[in-house]
Structure 1
């Protein structure tokens, strides 16, 4: 069964982050530290859970602003945050341009659902049908075996790692899409209405009858349903944690821990890891706090929270490498 949760508006997510950071800790060491981070909306619910847990223990206090991967990367490049979060890893060229160096740490993973608001309609989409919807060539649910209802496409209007991964999959599904709209954090969509953040996307989908768009799977709730999608092996899967984990198991992250697979042969086909971006050097007196925070999020106890929130716990071999990456950053 697809995990669901109560949607939290983007503005409230920021308030929750500030609330999590506001308590006075009684512990020693890094208890008085305050870290500033910004970035991806995709993992925001689990990040805020982890950061609230840290604050409640009287340890590191983290203010995480859920502003989208693109905005988070820009703040990281400008060195106005202590860390950033992105569903799209930095390219080698972009990473080389970070004066203090960049260490990219996989933190959690999940599925990008094709969510729609049309109760009573059970969508089972081939890869070409999915592309056809976002090309504007398939415009009615009746073309997909459901009753007459116009399809109203919704897309992310902000620079988004979710968009990057979703459009990478569309490009892998269709050479025409790859040579046309293509892939990126922000593209020129052939059709549709824009919404900001996974939170804004989910809200728009809830409000518009017949709407269809893409969101992190834990945002599918209420009248929204998730379509079953065809994978490269020809099977159909929904974005459950089990099916996402099967697909993620086929991804080789490589030596820099930034690999992906936009069209796996097994499991749900649109999945992604999501990364925390840390500075290789220049962390100064924040170093201990950064390592304490992310050693906790990579702990077995914290990772065990992922499935209940609609995410996938990192595999043991990935966790080992991620913990080593956190240990590698310096003052």
Structure 2
């Protein structure tokens, strides 16, 4: 009998550890998630399939319950969460920076941008690289008189949300004419899918500018500019300045918060948490208790052990106060009304 019990226990453990999980959403954290999920599979045997389809598509899929979790660079609004059949939970997994990457032959040092100049480029008001507004920020830099090709996202994008959220805080004209969202009515620009798509347009087009997550600029060897923060400092994106964007920010219990245009004097101003979104009550559809337990275990690993992979891939780690809130949210998960 003892042998039978042990064999049964082994089968239960194997069944739980062999779970596969599916997610979809933001391209912003895709390089990090690819690494995390590969390492997690080595450690746990759990295969996590994450599709980089954009934050908007991820939010749609979790609302429709076609994935175990969604990735999004912006938290869902109260209004958008009303479309979900049950309560959704958000947890941050990293802090990333959105940078203005460009292709300007002969320009070897990072250009300086203000929020107003970036807004005016994306409003179509600044059309050439030697415009006096850009030249005034970069004295002594010889900038070719190329026309500006504006690259932006064509899909529903959290990176777009973060960029537009920042521009709305620094440009009243942007806020009134374009606003904030995963998908926008763009005044100008060439659309591309995903951070990799925008990076591809910039890389192949002399005179192009595009907003991409930092790692995509680095992977594609694209120069990117420093951006003036609220304190007036021009800051080049990196892990440290991105992490500073979260310092001094009141993090609500549900962790849904904007980090753009931080008041911290050392912060990079276009930074954001990237989130995973999932259901608090895990019993729905054909889901099993083992599947719910596998999700909880993976989420816990991502905000603890998995944080070691953030900085080597140019994402900032979660501050301690944020990771503790994330763990509390993960521990609130239930299956059939009982804590997992």
TM-score scaled by length of structure 1: 0.88
Contact 2:105 2:206 in 1 (8 A): no
Contact 1:253 1:260 in 2 (8 A): no
313-322 or 97-106, larger mean C-alpha shift: 97-106
Q: C-alpha separation between the residues in 1 aligned to 2:317 and 2:259?
A: 18
In the TM superposition, residue 29 of structure 1 has moved relative to its aligned partner by: 5.9
Q: 2:259 is paired with a residue of what secondary structure? A: coil
37-46 or 117-126, larger mean C-alpha shift: 117-126
Q: 2:309 is paired with a residue of what secondary structure? A: coil
Match of 2:292 in 1: 287
In the TM superposition, residue 255 of structure 1 has moved relative to its aligned partner by: 2.0
Q: C-alpha separation between the residues in 1 aligned to 2:229 and 2:273?
A: 18
Q: 1:126-147 deviations in whole A, cap 9, x for unaligned?
A: 2211111111111111122322
Contact 2:54 2:157 in 1 (8 A): yes
Contact 2:253 2:325 in 1 (8 A): no
Q: 1:41 is paired with a residue of what secondary structure? A: coil
Q: 2:99 is paired with a residue of what secondary structure? A: strand
Determine if the alignment matches structure 1 residue 324 to structure 2 residue 328. Answer: yes
Q: 2:31 is paired with a residue of what secondary structure? A: helix
256-265 or 43-52, larger mean C-alpha shift: 256-265
In the TM superposition, residue 44 of structure 1 has moved relative to its aligned partner by: 0.8
Q: C-alpha separation between the residues in 2 aligned to 1:94 and 1:155?
A: 24
Q: C-alpha separation between the residues in 2 aligned to 1:96 and 1:155?
A: 29
Contact 1:118 1:223 in 2 (8 A): no
RMSD over aligned Cα atoms: 1.5
Match of 2:130 in 1: 142
Number of equivalenced pairs: 304
Match of 1:35 in 2: 21
In the TM superposition, residue 251 of structure 1 has moved relative to its aligned partner by: 2.8
Q: Residue 115 and residue 233 in structure 1: after superposition, are their counterparts in 2 closer, same or farther (change >3 A)?
A: same
**Structure 2: segments with no counterpart, 5+ residues:** 1-12, 136-142, 336-340
Q: C-alpha separation between the residues in 1 aligned to 2:34 and 2:19?
A: 17
Contact 1:60 1:292 in 2 (8 A): no
In the TM superposition, residue 282 of structure 1 has moved relative to its aligned partner by: 3.1
Match of 2:171 in 1: 174
In the TM superposition, residue 58 of structure 1 has moved relative to its aligned partner by: 4.0
Match of 1:184 in 2: 181
141-150 or 70-79, larger mean C-alpha shift: 141-150
In the TM superposition, residue 99 of structure 1 has moved relative to its aligned partner by: 1.7
In the TM superposition, residue 39 of structure 1 has moved relative to its aligned partner by: 0.5
Match of 2:40 in 1: 54
Alignment of 1:6-85 (within 5 A): 28=14, 30-85=16-71
34-43 or 220-229, larger mean C-alpha shift: 220-229
Match of 1:298 in 2: 303
Determine if the alignment matches structure 1 residue 104 to structure 2 residue 108. Answer: no
Determine which structure has more spread, i.e. the larger CA radius of gyration.
2
Q: C-alpha separation between the residues in 2 aligned to 1:172 and 1:127?
A: 9
Q: 1:202 is paired with a residue of what secondary structure? A: helix
Contact 2:102 2:224 in 1 (8 A): yes
Q: Residue 54 and residue 29 in structure 1: after superposition, are their counterparts in 2 closer, same or farther (change >3 A)?
A: farther
TM-score scaled by length of structure 2: 0.86
Q: C-alpha separation between the residues in 2 aligned to 1:254 and 1:295?
A: 19
Structure 1 stretches of at least 4 aligned residues deviating more than 3 Å after TM superposition: none
In the TM superposition, residue 216 of structure 1 has moved relative to its aligned partner by: 0.4
Q: 2:57 is paired with a residue of what secondary structure? A: helix
In the TM superposition, residue 252 of structure 1 has moved relative to its aligned partner by: 2.2
